[in-house]
Amino acid sequence: MSVQDIACPDLGDFKDVLVIEVLVRAGDEIALDAPIVTLETDKATMDVPATVAGRLVEVLVTKGSKVSQGDVLARVEAAAPAVSAVAPKSTTAPKAPAPVVSAGPEPAADREVQLLVLGAGPGGYTAAFRAADLGLKVVLVDRWPTLGGVCLNVGCIPSKALLHAAKVIDDAQAMSAHGVVFAAPQVDFAQLRAWKNQVVGKLTGGLTGLAKQRKVEVVRGVGRFLSPHVIEITHQGQQQRLRFEQCIIAAGSEAIKLPFVPSDPRVLDSTSALELAENPGRLLVIGGGIIGLEMATVYEALGAEISVVELTPQLIPGCDLDLVRPLEKRLRARYQQIMLGTKVTAVVAQPDGLQVSFAAGDNTSTQSFDHLLVAVGRVPNGRMLGAEAAGVAVDERGYLTVDKQQRTNVAHIYAIGDVVGQPMLAHKASHEGKVAAEVAAGQKSYFDARVIPAVAYTDPEIAWAGVTETGAKAQGVAFEKAAFPWAASGRSLSLGRDEGLTKLLFDPATQRVIGGGVVGPNAGELIAEVALAIEMGADAHDIGLTVHPHPTLSETVAMAAEAFAGTLTDLYLPKRRAGH
């Protein structure tokens, strides 16, 4: 075998281009055309592919290096002629060409396992537990000290605990308008943080017990593939190699970092924002999506002065505007400012604050804030696993392509959750995890969910499932709509929150429910009925003739269905068609 150089390719007119990410390390087995570094110019980012397959002998650049055409990036001990990885029959079009892997011998391993699950978030632990229930010997690998991944440790669960605290404060304040006045809350941040951690601890501890009951072996560390059947686990400087018969990748995602935002303790992300070190004072939330608005809800209730900036023209991009409007109206009355269609162009750390520059069309401005929360989305971890060494195709964004059985292009390797595409939701991952585990155990399972509900745990909450008006109009999908305003709901009036709305979308040809949305308190609890109706192929009469308890918010779903069917008596609505 010969050692060959991988050089920086032709970059056009660019020289001294910044290396923003090194994707490999010495000792890795790399495939032909597998990305080895990511470069960034002022125009775009690009991956530099390997021009030869084999074992990396030396990586000559680091993050922050600057390179030009012809500079040597790495040296590779070239492998024997490569062969394509085995690709299963897929029901989805590949997002990236399948890489090739070396035809040479497999790396040596310390021991063998039947099924390895990489990642112990909701998708990973669900897959591991389901596989164990089906008789497989399972090893569950995760970098976190406790099971549960981002969701349980620093995501869904701790944020919902804090949102509950925020709602208690807001509800107490709201009652002053109705003759019940409480003293101003005294917030002990340390005690509140401890309670939040206790909630997390109960759930993660419960997962540890479930793993022991099922005899699922938990291995701590970061996993990186060395070949189609061998993975190396690194933990506290120690490595071990496991040879697996089958593998389920459930590696999740990471918060996106903005390159122009400085490294400063006053800059928060969705993880550090949960630590509640102090009242953040003047807090700018960059990103008006679900995560940013949920954390803004928490900190506003705890006394912070909130500003939100969003690049697109609306909050929660992609959500129907009639669902967003009640939330936006409430937030504008409580927050310092909401800047839509506005771009953050620079952030400068000063001793007395963070200077932030904005651009909205031709208008520019600068403001100072005590803290920033960056919540502009998440990026999949697909490119951090060395998946190319296993022959697994990873696209330019870091997603892994799978079929309806969650198989990647390598037949014995499956992938689930955030790494396989949107929506990045825990409940999607857990259902995909069950499918992957069942297929690994020999069952004929498929992921064929018609809808995946989405919830923003703001105040008011917003939830939707299935076809949205925004999506239907963009794609030319025919639909009919019926809505029930919560101003006519006795239950919502008794809660002092009449701004809500429940709507359903129907297929004009079949009259079946194809989508729905809710805005208002507990919308996240109500959307499950809409999702079930879509899965069951229900029409308006199926929902309307189901007796709902009164007075409840759940009956607003039935009333929306009755509005479509023409049988609603709680409002006077003109007849929508002849015969109704």
Tell me how far apart the terminal alpha carbons of the chain are, to the nearest angstrom.
80
Q: Are 47 and 383 in contact, with CB atoms under 8 Å apart?
A: no
Beta carbons within 10 angstroms of residue 88's beta carbon:
14
How many other C-beta atoms are found inside a 10 Å radius of the C-beta of residue 472? 18
At 398, the amino acid letter reads: G
| C-alpha closest to that of 370 among 349, 386, 389 | 349
What whole-number distance in Å separates Cα of residue 115 and Cα of residue 131? 8
Category of 268 on φ-ψ map: left (φ > 0), alpha (ψ -120 to 50) or beta? beta
Whether 315 and 462 have beta carbons less than 8 Å apart is answered as no
Q: Where are the beta strands (DSSP E) in 311-450?
A: 337-340, 343-350, 353-360, 363-369, 371-374, 378-380, 413-415
Q: Which residue has the tokens 């059947």?
A: 229
CB atoms within 10 A of CB 544: 22
Amino acid at 6: I
Find all residues with CB under 8 Å of 509, minimum gap 6, and list them: 478
Of the residues 164, 412, 550, 580, only one is catalytic, namely 550
CA separation for the pair 468, 456 (Å, rounded):
15
Residue 251's CB is within 10 A of a number of other CB atoms, namely 29
Residue 72 contacts residue 60 (beta carbons within 8 Å) = yes
Question: Distance (Å, rounded) from C-alpha 516 to C-alpha 244?
Answer: 43
Are 451 and 466 in contact, with CB atoms under 8 Å apart?
Answer: yes
Going 482 to 486 to 490 to 491, the CA torsion angle's sign is: positive
Cis bond before residue 35 (omega within 30° of 0): no
d(CA 54, CA 31): 7
Nearest CA among 239, 254, 257, 261 for reference residue 383: 254
Distance of CA 284 to the CA centre of its chain: 22
Catalytic site includes residue 371: no
**Is 310 in a helix, a strand, or coil?**
strand
SS3 383: helix
Alpha-carbon 64 to chain mean position: 28
Catalytically active residues are 550
